[in-house]
Structure 1
């Protein structure tokens, strides 16, 4: 069962974000499980521990919110099932770190009271909705059912602005049990301010740069044996980056040759542009020579740690 933690009706966006930091929400579930395509566990951990600034909602999230009422109304129109908006932030009584901000609630003929979730999707993602729902949304609705105790979820989606689909998802006890276990472990890391395993995200790189800004000791240390495989991974990746960088440059050069003096080119559904851009930049070298005092006054000194991997001599 769930308790009402706060009313979200007319709640400012930044306040809503603050409330979300008090636990793990439905959209966080796929991140905790490591399958989210847009966010990594380390980034979510940094968010929950107040180590990254507020981020404005992107265009997709903005329009998803704006169209939520339309999707809800269309679902009711097509199914005859009334959906009640849920303007509340819910908290699991049994697992207080689990939160839920439902799009709505409705009733299933045999499963009783259930969750309603509204989605919008790009036309390019239509295939993901053919036989099931995307994995991250499956985890999201199972998370909601874990919080509320409900036995099912109706999920409706508007695809590409002109295709409407809806599905009923039953409660999956095995999946919910796994979610509770993973989210519990993650929330413990948040409370103890212990980062999850490092990954390849920009957030992880930012965390390490801020955690270890300067090299203090000049002593050589012996790395664990697991470092050998990581070094090999790094070297292979560098080789692939160089290979793909050359292929990318080749394609770019040939496309530029095709465009010539033209700014825009079309190929099937693709638009290729090569535009003229004018910029004004400060000539630091000339300023340093001709006005050294002024240069010194306004020059910013920065420091960073350079990372490299090379064979030992």
Structure 2
């Protein structure tokens, strides 16, 4: 039996495979605990309960998830090159449970170990995220401020393996960044209690109330309740509802127009700057404020590629 710290291996299966799904069915994993604790932006407790009970249709992997799969090895190598503490090593992981709590599941992207040939003594865990659409949710490089649902996931994995810290290697529109998280035992005690209560509800067939009050969660619940499309029409008569729908439509249209206008203005500004800057690195305003910077990414041969302009 494979062991790593306080974790016991269940197996190594591709994400989404029948074996992987079966291992998760009656257990609480890292993304699950975020939903259980009300921290997930994607799933409520009600949705998670239906998912575990097999009452929610499975979804095909998105293009973003597929891209993340290909990004993972590169992000791991970037972390190893720039942030992995000396004397430590990365190892591929798999599916694990806590040695005393078979219901507590972990699928970390990498284990951080002190022996390149053994996973017996983990030091930390590494999670890899590809989030091109949510760059603003993350803090500055090297800080401890990942989004709350990812923070919960890291805490859960630390608890399964009995380690004290976790790192995130994240790729977004700003490039790669690293985020460090320390273990929070007080929160973990509460999370384990909530997870056990949720599992009991699963086993007893007690459906959680769909009381998640965020509009996104309520919309997701209604989508699950009405999977069919008929030729019926409904008329919205409530003045407040009509006002909310009208405002949303106007803002959505305005946002699309603003996005297109912003792209056009940005392209125009970059064209002006490119002509003015030539080979210069930085463009300044008369008061010394930095307006833009020219940068160049390294190519596969290690040489700088064509420079590009970043507006400040």
**Same-fold status (TM-score > 0.5):** yes
Q: Tell which deviates more after alignment, 85-94 or 67-76.
A: 85-94
C-alpha change, 1:22 and 1:267, in structure 2 (3 Å) is same
Contact persistence 1:189–1:195 (CA under 8 A): yes
Match of 1:159 among 163, 166, 172: 172
Match of 2:59 among 55, 60, 65: 55
Number of the residue aligned with 2:242: 242
SS class of match (2:209): coil
Deviation at 1:79, TM superposition (A): 2.6
Deviation at 1:187, TM superposition (A): 1.1
Verify: 1:28 aligned to 2:22, yes or no: no
Deviation at 1:53, TM superposition (A): 2.4
Deviation at 1:245, TM superposition (A): 2.5
Structure 2: unaligned runs, 5 residues or longer: 1-5, 115-120, 212-216, 228-236, 265-312
Contact persistence 2:106–2:160 (CA under 8 A): yes
Counterpart CA distance in 1 for 2:41 and 2:62 is 15
Number of the residue aligned with 1:91: 97
Match of 1:138 among 145, 151, 154: 151
Taking structure 2 as the reference length, the TM-score comes to 0.65
Contact persistence 1:23–1:97 (CA under 8 A): yes
C-alpha change, 1:28 and 1:83, in structure 2 (3 Å) is farther
Taking structure 1 as the reference length, the TM-score comes to 0.65
> How does 1:193-212 map onto structure 2 within 5 Å?
193-199=205-211, 201-202=218-219, 204-205=221-222
Number of the residue aligned with 1:224: none
Counterpart CA distance in 2 for 1:12 and 1:204 is 23
Deviation at 1:88, TM superposition (A): 1.9
Contact persistence 2:124–2:164 (CA under 8 A): yes
Deviation at 1:173, TM superposition (A): 0.4
Contact persistence 1:117–1:153 (CA under 8 A): yes
C-alpha change, 1:239 and 1:180, in structure 2 (3 Å) is farther
Q: C-alpha offsets along residues 146-197 of structure 1, whole Å, 9 cap, x if unaligned?
A: 111111112111122x521112211110111111011111111111111112
Contact persistence 2:104–2:160 (CA under 8 A): yes
Counterpart CA distance in 1 for 2:17 and 2:135 is 27
Question: RMSD over aligned Cα, in angstroms?
Answer: 3.2
Number of the residue aligned with 1:301: none
C-alpha change, 1:254 and 1:118, in structure 2 (3 Å) is closer
SS class of match (1:76): helix
> How does 1:215-294 map onto structure 2 within 5 Å?
238-248=238-248, 266-269=260-263
Deviation at 1:56, TM superposition (A): 1.1
Counterpart CA distance in 2 for 1:39 and 1:89 is 22
SS class of match (1:35): coil
Look at both structures and tell me which one has the larger radius of gyration over its CA atoms: 1
Deviation at 1:125, TM superposition (A): 2.2
Q: Tell which deviates more after alignment, 36-45 or 124-133.
A: 124-133
Verify: 1:2 aligned to 2:15, yes or no: no
Number of the residue aligned with 1:290: none
Match of 2:183 among 148, 165, 171: 171
C-alpha change, 1:66 and 1:240, in structure 2 (3 Å) is farther
